[in-house]
Structure 1
C-alpha cells in the first residue's frame, strides 16, 4: 500500500477508528511485500523455437498473471541442456530464478556425462508440468512412409541413414539409441544444439531422420515437409491417430515417454516454491493452455512438489540401469 493510499484511507475513517486502522497498515504493507516482489527469470536450457521453449512461452503469460510479476524466458542452449541447467543450479536460492528441466537433464545426463556441471541434489522440485511422447520423422526424400518400411530398408542398407536429435544425451538421443539397440539397426547419430536446429537439419536434408518433440515437429508434419513414421509411446497419439507406435511397427517392447517440469536452487524458501507451484499448475488447468498442449501430443500434469521429487528419483533409478544395459554413450 502506497503512502497516498494510507492517507486516503485514514482521512476517510472516523477518528475513533483511526488507531485500529493505523495498527493494521503495517500488516497490509508486509503482506504485499511477500514473494514475489520482482521479475522472475525462467531459464530454458534449449534454443528459442524448440519444444521446451514452446511449452514455456505457452505458460508464461498465465504464470505472470497468477504471480503478479513479469516472467522472462532466458534461453541457454547447448550440451544437451547442461549449460543452462548448470546456470540454474548456481543461481541465488531466492525464488527469482526457475529452471525448466526434463528427463534428459534430470535423469539421463548425470549418467551419460562425467561432469554435466550440476547435480540433481542442487535443485528443489517445483512441479512436473507434463509428459510427452516423441515422434520419429523422415524428410521428404526418404523413400518410406512408415517405420516398418524404414526398418526393412535400413537393414538392407546398413549405415545409410542418419538421424538428428536435440543433442548428445538428450531424451531424443536416448529414444534413438533405444531404437537402434532394440531393432538392431546401424544408424548414425547427428547431434544438434537443440530440437529446433535438429528439425531444420532434417528439413534441409542434412539428416534423413529426426527424433523430435511433437510441439516443434507437428507444423512441418501437417505441411507435408516431414513424414511421421512412428510415435514412441505406448499408444497412438490423438494428434496423429494414423501414425503407429514403434512397438506396433515391429519393435516389440519399445516404449519411450519423456517429461518436463520446473525446479529451483536448493535452499529456496518454501513460500516461493509453493507460489511457483500454484502459478504453474494454475496455468496448466486453464482450458486454452491445456488444449494447446494436448494438440501437440503433450499431456498436462501439474503435480505436487513431493510427487515430482518421487518421479525424479524413480527415473534416476530406471535410467542408470538402462543406460548401462543398452551401452549408451555420448558420441
Structure 2
C-alpha cells in the first residue's frame, strides 16, 4: 500500500469517529426516558399539591415506562423547590409542580424568589381549583357572614392560616380582607398540610385551604366549612355558600396547578411528559378523586399552559399592588 493511500485511510477513519459518536449521542437522546424521573413538589407532604401529584404518579410511570418519584421540597412559599427545579439539567428527568403562587404571585411578591418564570418551560396545565375557608368547630360562627361580623367587632383578634407567604390562598385571604374591610391576621405555614394541622390544633381561627386536604376533616366533623371562593357552590359542598353569597359582592377566586421543566428541554421530551400527565388525568379513579375534592382536571398542553402563566402573571402583578399584599 502506498504512503498516500495509507494517509487517506487514516484521515477517513479519524473523520468517521466523531460522526459515529454524534449519531450514538443523538440516538441516546431520542430514547427518553431511560431512567428514573423526579417530580419536585415545592410543598410539604399532605397538602393538595402532594395529593394531586401522588394521584398522577402511578399512571405516569406506566405511560413513561420508568419510575416517577415525588420529592417534597417545601418552604419560602414554594420558592425553594421551584428554584431547585429551575436549576436542574434540561433533560426531562426533573419535572416541577407549580401553581398560581409560584408562577404568578411570587415573582412580584419576592425581590428574589430564586428563579425566573422564563427559565421554566410549561408542560401541562393540570387542574383548576376553588378554595374553601374552613374553621375549627370552636369558632363561634357557622358561616363566613357570621365570622366577618365577629372580625368587625374585634379587629385583629382573629387569624387565618395559609400554605405560606405568596401562596394562592394567601392572596385569596388578602382579597377577602380588602373587599370585606376586616382586620384578620395572616399566619403563614410551610404548606397546606401544616396549616390544616395547625387549625385542627386551634392555633389559628380559620384557614383558606385547598379542598383536597380539608374535605376529609370537613366530612369527619373536625372542621367546618364557612364558604367557597368560586363563582358558584361546589358539588362537594352544596350547602356551603360562596364568599359572594356571604356578603362580599364581586368576590371570586380560583387557582390552578401544572407541571414545568427547565427551559431548553427538548420539545419531544416535553411532549412525552405531557402525554403521560394528560393520560393520568383521564384515569377514571384520578378524575373522580380530583372532582370530589373540588378540583377540575384540565390536561391542556404546553401552549395553553404557557398562555395561562403569562396572563396570570400580568393580572396578579396588578392585583397584588392593588390589594397591598406583602410578605409577612
Please confirm whether the aligned pair reaches a TM-score higher than 0.5, indicating the same fold. yes
Correspondences of 1:246-261 after superposition (within 5 Å)? 246-261=243-258
2:295 is aligned with 1:298: yes
- Aligned partner of 2:35 in structure 1 is 38
Moved more, 33-42 or 61-70: 33-42
CA displacement 1:212-234 (0-9 Å, x = unmatched): 10000001101111110000011
2:158 is aligned with 1:200: no
- Aligned partner of 2:110 in structure 1 is 113
- Aligned partner of 1:155 in structure 2 is 152
The alignment covers a number of residue pairs equal to 304
User: C-alpha distance in 1, partners of 2:168/2:132?
Assistant: 12
| Correspondent of 2:84 among 80, 84, 87 | 87
- Aligned partner of 1:102 in structure 2 is 99
User: C-alpha distance in 2, partners of 1:97/1:261?
Assistant: 14
Correspondences of 1:1-331 after superposition (within 5 Å)? 34-331=31-328
- Aligned partner of 1:11 in structure 2 is none
Alignment gaps of 5+ in structure 2? 1-22
Q: CA deviation at 1:32?
A: 11
Taking structure 1 as reference, are residues 304 and 33 closer, same or farther at Cα in structure 2, changes over 3 Å only?
Answer: closer
User: C-alpha distance in 1, partners of 2:30/2:111?
Assistant: 43
Taking structure 1 as reference, are residues 72 and 321 closer, same or farther at Cα in structure 2, changes over 3 Å only?
Answer: same
User: C-alpha distance in 1, partners of 2:30/2:82?
Assistant: 29
User: C-alpha distance in 1, partners of 2:202/2:155?
Assistant: 19
CA displacement 1:152-199 (0-9 Å, x = unmatched): 111111111011100011111110000000000100111100000000
SS at match of 2:239: coil
SS at match of 1:302: strand
User: C-alpha distance in 1, partners of 2:43/2:28?
Assistant: 36
Alignment gaps of 5+ in structure 1? 1-25
CA displacement 1:22-70 (0-9 Å, x = unmatched): xxxx99xx59961111100000000011110000000000000010000
- TM-score, structure 2 normalization: 0.91
Cα RMSD after superposing both structures: 1.4
- TM-score, structure 1 normalization: 0.90
User: C-alpha distance in 2, partners of 1:316/1:33?
Assistant: 34
Taking structure 1 as reference, are residues 203 and 277 closer, same or farther at Cα in structure 2, changes over 3 Å only?
Answer: same
User: C-alpha distance in 2, partners of 1:206/1:152?
Assistant: 21
CA displacement 1:55-113 (0-9 Å, x = unmatched): 00000000000100000010000001000000000000000000000000000000100
User: C-alpha distance in 1, partners of 2:194/2:126?
Assistant: 24
SS at match of 2:169: helix
User: C-alpha distance in 1, partners of 2:32/2:100?
Assistant: 29
User: C-alpha distance in 2, partners of 1:320/1:48?
Assistant: 29
User: C-alpha distance in 2, partners of 1:31/1:238?
Assistant: 48
